[in-house]
A and B are shown apart, each in its own frame.
Chain A
């Protein structure tokens, strides 16, 4: 059964304190791994898609990496505006995304 596990559930950082969020997955025939950001009361906002082990993508202070079993979302020198819930999802087919429960990130000044 396709499954996604994210850790930690919650993370509190000081502004400028770099860290990483983990997404472990099991899926039959990975077609893509997706990272989303979700702010309270809003729908998820697309960040990255990774398709194969070894792939990396960057956007501002965020960098996503992918191995055969997990993905990391690295946050470098975070700012308070990076506070959000970060969701990871995998696709074993084009029609479904299997989401993890998310990591709630709080960045304090």
Chain B
């Protein structure tokens, strides 16, 4: 497929556990973004990667959140010591350098119990 791929699609975890979410961007897209969407709310920016530049981490809500990207390919978002307020859909998007529309994945629905 040519779209942004995210895995897993659903994740249920116990409070206090660490989770890792994966994003495969569209081939050739140099920019990659992570967003969080709580139920009934808009998207909240988390982090942005552009090529080999230092990532913009200004949206990460706490030091329990971190993300990595290997070159211009796969990215992982890690949440350590999960809390119930971390429950949300985590969306990944990628785009070409043109600031036009980003292409979003289907998201990972995270439930912390």
Contacts and interface: CB of A to CB of B under 8 A. Distances in A.
Interface of A: 4, 31-32, 34, 36, 41-49, 87, 89, 91, 94-102
Contacts of B58: 96
B25 interface: no
Q: Which of A34, A47, A96, A98 has the most CB of B within 10 A?
A: A96
A38 to B, nearest CB: 9
A89 B43 contact: yes
Q: Which of A36, A94, A98, A102 has the most CB of B within 10 A?
A: A94
Interface string B30-53: 010101000011111100101000
A45 B102 CA distance: 9
B91 A43 contact: yes
B48 A42 contact: no
Interface in B58-113: 58-59, 91, 93, 97, 99-107
Contacts of B97: 94
B84 to A, nearest CB: 21
Contact of B103 (A4, A46, A47, A96): A46
A104 to B, nearest CB: 9
Contacts of A101: 40-42
A102 B48 contact: no
B45 A98 contact: yes
A49 B100 contact: yes
Nearest to B58: A96
B4 interface: yes
Contact of B43 (A32, A49, A97): A97
Nearest to A6: B42
A95 B106 contact: no
